[in-house]
């Protein structure tokens, strides 16, 4: 009897005292833009994954039907080689989304490590590490990407071509795209994490844990990181669209994916090359551009929703 009532009250307490993170997630899932964006992204991901099964056109099957405007057979029209643009857009979505996800993970790894170490160690180390971030801010990031790609890509390609297959080697350029984009996008993350860690480090519960003889790893992983994971997720979500946008810029420069592979950026770049005053091939830009813009919108809405939910200072738009 008594045990039954005690579990009941325990449940009630746990419901009332759900952690701030749990409450944040609940707030997040109630917001309307978040729901709409989430559904859009889920549908997009499903379509992208299942595209090889659904599609009637192969993304790199060339035909004689060049530059056909959108019709019932080719919903998005065809491009310079008569390839179906709808199929190529979904095929390109794969790389664009993958670049965003992997690039954001790379930036998360570097940024959180850098920021956490600087904030936790403090003192001179902190000073030096943050100075380095300041200096990297003053250097245009495009240099790093180009240097990284041109310095190492060829070596890796020949290495992979020798030891593995040619196909693996063709993925080498994409690997550098991922790493390069992540490697230039971690600066803001490092600054934010460092600030948070610095303020948490001197809080009482950390001091208490230290006095009890907890190791640095335990303090960092048990006490500090769980308290900042909300803000990390927020900036991670906002990094994804930024990296997808950066990839489209690199593809425009010809540094992105190499044809016949495609990303949204490289499709748009192909479209801009076809601008002339005689015939207007608007569909080459409008459709990949609209897909890119809608995805960026959805990701940004998700990021905004997360920030409203996790940041105690920003009360959500009611």
Partner 1 sequence: MFPVLLIVSSIGFVLIRSMPGGPFDSERKPASAEIERNLKAKFHLDEPLWKQYLRYLGVTGDASGLIRGDLGPSLKYRNHTVNDILKQCLPVSMTLGAMSFCFAMFTGIPLGCYMALRRGQWGDHLGGFIAMLSFCVPNIVIAPLLILWLAVKLHLLPVALWGSPSQMILPTIVLGLYFSGRIARLMREGLSTTLHSEFVTTARAKGVSETAILWKHAFRLGILPVVSYSGPLLADLLTGSFVVENIFQIPGIGVFFINSIFNRDHTMTVGLVLVYAALLLILNMLVDLSYSLLDRRVRYE
CB of 26 or CB of 154, closer to partner 1: 154
Give 84's strand partners.
78
Q: Are 43 and 251 in contact (CB under 8 A)?
A: no
Name residues contacting partner 1, limited to 121-140 (CB under 8 A).
134-135, 137-140
Q: In whole angstroms, give the CA distance from residue 113 to residue 182.
A: 14
Q: How far is CA 16 from the centre of its chain?
A: 34
* φ and ψ of 78, to 5 deg: -125, 165
Is residue 253 close enough to count as binding partner 1 by CB under 8 A? yes
The interface region with partner 1, picked from 46-54, 115-123, 192-200, 278-286 by CB under 8 A, is 278-286
Element (H, E) at 7: helix 2-16
Apex CA 193: angle with CA 189 and CA 196, to 5°?
145
Query: Which span (61-69, 104-112, 113-121, 245-253) binds partner 1, by CB under 8 A?
Result: 245-253
| Residue in 228, 296, 302, 309 binding partner 1, rule: CB under 8 A | 296
Q: Are 209 and 221 in contact (CB under 8 A)?
A: no
Among the listed residues 8, 29, 43, 280, the single contact to partner 1 using CB under 8 A: 280
Phi and psi dihedrals of 184, rounded to 5? Answer: -105, 0
User: Is residue 297 a contact residue for partner 1 (CB under 8 A)?
Assistant: yes
What is the spatial distance between Cα 106 and Cα 203, in angstroms, rounded to a whole number?
30
Contact call for residue 29 and partner 1 (CB under 8 A): no
Q: Is 114 in the site for partner 1 (CB under 8 A)?
A: no
Q: Can residue 229 be called a binding residue for partner 1 (CB under 8 A)?
A: no
Q: Does 233 bind partner 1 (CB under 8 A)?
A: no
Q: By CB under 8 A, which span of 101-109, 121-129, 168-176, 282-290 interacts with partner 1?
A: 282-290
Contact 78, 63 (CB under 8 A): yes
Q: Provide the minimum distance between the beta carbon of 300 and partner 1 in the complex, in angstroms, as a whole number.
A: 6
The answer to whether 57 and 84 are in contact (CB under 8 A) is yes
236 vs 105: CA distance, rounded Å? 8
Number of residues forming the site for partner 1 (CB under 8 A): 42
Chain contacts with partner 1 (rule: CB under 8 A) = 134-135, 137-140, 142-144, 146-147, 150-151, 154, 241, 245, 248-249, 252-253, 265, 268-269, 271-272, 275, 277, 280, 282, 285-286, 289, 292-293, 296-297, 300-301, 304, 314, 317-318
């Amino acid at each position: 009897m008594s045990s039954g009532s005690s579990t009941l009250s325990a449940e009630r307490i746990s419901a009332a005292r759900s952690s701030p993170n749990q409450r944040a997630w609940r707030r997040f899932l109630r917001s309307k833009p978040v729901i709409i964006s989430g559904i859009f992204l889920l549908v997009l991901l499903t379509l992208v994954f299942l595209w090889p099964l659904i599609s009637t056109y192969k993304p790199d099957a060339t035909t004689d039907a060049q530059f056909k405007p959108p019709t019932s057979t080719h919903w998005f029209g065809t491009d310079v080689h008569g390839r179906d643009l709808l199929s190529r857009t979904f095929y390109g979505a794969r790389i664009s989304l993958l670049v965003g996800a992997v690039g954001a993970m790379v930036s998360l790894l570097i940024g959180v490590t850098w920021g956490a170490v600087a904030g936790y160690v403090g003192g001179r180390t902190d000073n030096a590490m943050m100075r380095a971030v300041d200096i990297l801010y003053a250097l245009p990031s495009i240099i790093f990407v180009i240097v990284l790609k041109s310095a190492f890509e060829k070596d890796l390609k020949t290495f992979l071509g020798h030891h593995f297959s040619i196909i693996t080697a063709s993925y080498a350029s994409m690997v550098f795209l991922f790493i390069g984009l992540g490697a230039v996008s971690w600066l803001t993350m490092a600054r934010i994490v460092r600030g948070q860690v610095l303020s948490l480090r001197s809080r009482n519960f950390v001091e208490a844990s230290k006095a009890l003889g907890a190791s640095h790893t335990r303090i960092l992983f048990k006490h500090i990181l769980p308290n900042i994971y909300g803000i990390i997720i927020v900036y991670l979500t906002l990094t994804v669209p930024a990296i997808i946008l950066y990839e489209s810029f690199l593809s425009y420069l010809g540094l992105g994916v190499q044809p016949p592979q495609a990303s949204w950026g490289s499709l748009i770049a192909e479209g801009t090359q076809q601008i002339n005053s005689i015939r207007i091939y608007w569909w080459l830009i409008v459709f990949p551009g609209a897909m890119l813009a809608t995805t960026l919108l959805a990701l940004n809405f998700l990021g905004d929703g997360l920030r409203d939910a996790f940041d105690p200072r920003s009360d959500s738009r009611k």
